[in-house]
Amino acid sequence: AQSVTQPDIHITVSEGASMELRCNYSYGATPYLFWYVQSPGQGLQLLLKYFSGDTLVQGIKGFEAEFKRSQSSFNLRKPSVHWSDAAEYFCAVGQRGGGNKLTFGTGTQLKVEL
């Protein structure tokens, strides 16, 4: 069975600093990988996804993630965090051919200090 681990429950960064949110997955083959963000009062919004090809994926709002097969990781990064990035971030894995049946991690709450 597939699984996703987000080891950091909370992370605090200063505005303008860089950030990296960790995600490790367990899956028997090459998975589909996603990062979603949920801002207060909002639904989940897709930041970026990896299906195949270039292992460095660019997303919206200046986010990027790198798929590392050898480490079973898909960490999310942003070089300069804005106060509006404060939200909860979810990593998810999907099965090839399995539609959008996703397995999510427990989420990482990002706090941005001004």
Partner 1 sequence: EAGVTQFPSHSVIEKGQTVTLRCDPISGHDNLYWYRRVMGKEIKFLLHFVKESKQDESGMPNNRFLAERTGGTYSTLKVQPAELEDSGVYFCASSQDIKGSTEAFFGQGTRLTVV
Which residues are at the interface with partner 1 (CB under 8 A)? 4, 32, 36, 41-46, 49, 51, 90, 92, 94-107
CB of 66 to partner 1, least distance (A): 20
Following DSSP, what letter does each residue of the chain receive, concatenated? --EEE---SEEEEETTS-EEE--EEE-SSPPEEEEEEE-TT--EEEEEEE-SS-SEEE-GGG-EEEEEGGGTEEEEEESS--GGG-EEEEEEEE-TTSTT-EEE---EEEEEE-
Q: Which is nearer to partner 1, 67 or 103 (CB)?
A: 103
CB of 100 to partner 1, least distance (A): 4
CB of 97 to partner 1, least distance (A): 6
Q: Which is nearer to partner 1, 64 or 104 (CB)?
A: 104
